[in-house]
Every structure is written in C-alpha cells, then in structure tokens.
Chains A and B, each alone.
Chain A
Amino acid sequence: MPITQFLVLSAFLFCVGIYGVLARRNGVLVLMSVELMLNAVNLNLIAFAARLGDVAGQVFALFVITIAAAEVGVGLAIVLLIYRNRQSIDLDEVSSMRG
C-alpha cells in the first residue's frame, strides 16, 4: 500500500483539528479538536512503524495516547474550573491575562 494515503489522511485530520481549535469557542470542543490532532500524529507514527518495520513508532504512539489521556483529564478539570468561576466556558471571554 502506498504510504502517502495514510500520511494525507493524517494531514487532513490534523488540519481539521487546527480549524476546530481556531474556530470553536467552547472549551470542551477545543479539547476535542486537540484530540483530533494527536490522533493524526499517532496515525503517522504507526504508518512509519509499518513502513520501516520498527516497533519504536508503535511504542511512541502508546506514549502519545497515555499523555493525551492525562491532557484530557487536566484540561477538562481546568474547563470545569473556568465554568465554576464564570458560569460559562466561552474561551473568548477568558481574557483576564490579556495585556
């Protein structure tokens, strides 16, 4: 199988994630878009692991999955705190640190 089809699919997922991060204002939806981008990276890692016959790609995909789980846990806790403090998770309103 040509490796490019996996790489292009992964690039597409990544760019959809970029669009989501930039265009969504709901904190939970932004975190979902970040998950899309992380999955795109993992797909790349696995495709190259299969191409090179090297398990290192799979091992690092597993590490990325673990870190993504940690990131979602902490990220949702932060979103929850923002909601508790402001009764809203509109990220455009979270601008206290703007200079």
Chain B
Amino acid sequence: MPILAEAAAQNVAFWIIAAVMAAAAIAVVTVPNVVHAALSLVVVLAGVAAQYILLQAEFVGLVQVLIYIGAVIILFLFGIMLTRSPMKKNTELDNNQRLAAAGVAALILGVLVVRLLDSFGGVHIDLAQAAAANDTSAVADSIFRVYVVAFEVVSLLLLAALVGAIVLARRD
C-alpha cells in the first residue's frame, strides 16, 4: 500500500506542477508586459526542474535551476533593460498573424498528442527503477567516458559563443 500511495502522490504532484507550468507558459507568450513574460518564464523553468526531480533526474533539475533560473533569466532581464522594450499594449508586442500562429500551434499539438497517445499509450515509467539506474554518478560516468568527445565539443562551443557574444555586443 505505501507504494500505491507514493505513486498517487507523484501523480498529484505531476498534475499540480503541470497545470502551473501550462498557465505560466501561456502567460509567457500572451502577457502584454515583457518583464511579466520573463517572470512567467521563471515559473515554467522551475516547473520543468520540478518535473526532472519527479523523474529522479535530480542533477539535471539542479543544473536547470542554476543555469536557467540563475543565469539565462538574468540575461533576459538585462536584454529587456538594455533594449528598453516597450512596456505598453499587447498590440505592440504581437504581430498581426496571431490567429494563424495559434492555428499552426494547435494543429501541431493535435497531431503530436494523437501520435504520442497512439504510440506510447500503455507505456509506464517505473520511478524506483529509474532512480536506481539514473543516479548522478552514472551521469558523470556517462559524460566523461561515453560522451567525452561531445563534452569537449560543447565546451569549445561555449567558448566560441562567449567570444562571439563579446565581439557582437562591445562598442568600439
């Protein structure tokens, strides 16, 4: 019985977090104020981190909090401040193809949901088994053994992006 109760608690947690994430994600693309959109993005990113922890990927969840909420959002807020984005009406932030965009998004969502339910309908995640297989030391082993070349390439890419961003943004 405690296993069942735990599974029920995990399900409830998932739906609460998912509802908050969905509302915040819609707020990101609809609110008329850029700063409010950035703060809604914080809620979505925190929700994603919570889902990672629910899926027993605690290391990725913590990295998500550190990099996204810690660094990327700060970058966004700096971008908003430096470009003095208009904090006025919705019409100035959205273009006139909102209806078409909503149609495209709804179409893709419909196709994706139908296909996903069709393909993975009965598939379940065993969280206890996932926790046993996906601990952080296994992630570290995998990064520095199997995917070490990709790791080095990504570090080079980060360096290139750093230099590129400085070159682009500096004033001469």
Contact = CB atoms under 8 A, between A and B. Distances in A.
Partners in one complex: yes
A contacts with B: majority SS: helix
Contacts of B22: 9, 12-13, 16
B contacts with A: majority SS: helix
A16 B29 contact: yes
B29 A56 contact: no
Interface string A27-55: 11101110110010011001101110111
Contacts of B106: 15
The size class of the interface chain B forms with chain A is: 35 or more
Nearest to B66: A65
A76 B34 contact: no
A19 B76 contact: no
B61 to A, nearest CB: 9
A12 B158 CA distance: 29
Contacts of B150: 63
Contacts of B82: 80, 83
Interface in B57-79: 57, 59-60, 63-64, 67-68, 71-72, 75-76, 78-79
B29 A20 contact: yes
Contacts of B94: 23-25
Contacts of A73: 75, 161-162, 165
27 contacts: A4-B116, A12-B25, A13-B21, A13-B22, A13-B44, A14-B112, A22-B100, A22-B104, A23-B94, A32-B28, A36-B41, A42-B60, A43-B52, A46-B51, A49-B55, A51-B125, A55-B142, A56-B146, A62-B63, A62-B139, A65-B67, A66-B154, A70-B158, A72-B72, A76-B79, A80-B79, A89-B83
Interface of B: 7, 10-11, 14-15, 18, 21-22, 25-26, 28-29, 34, 37-38, 41, 44-45, 48, 51-52, 55-57, 59-60, 63-64, 67-68, 71-72, 75-76, 78-80, 82-83, 85-86, 92-95, 97-98, 100-102, 104-106, 108-109, 112-113, 116-117, 120-125, 127, 129-130, 132-134, 138-139, 141-143, 146-147, 150-151, 154, 157-158, 160-162, 164-166, 168-169
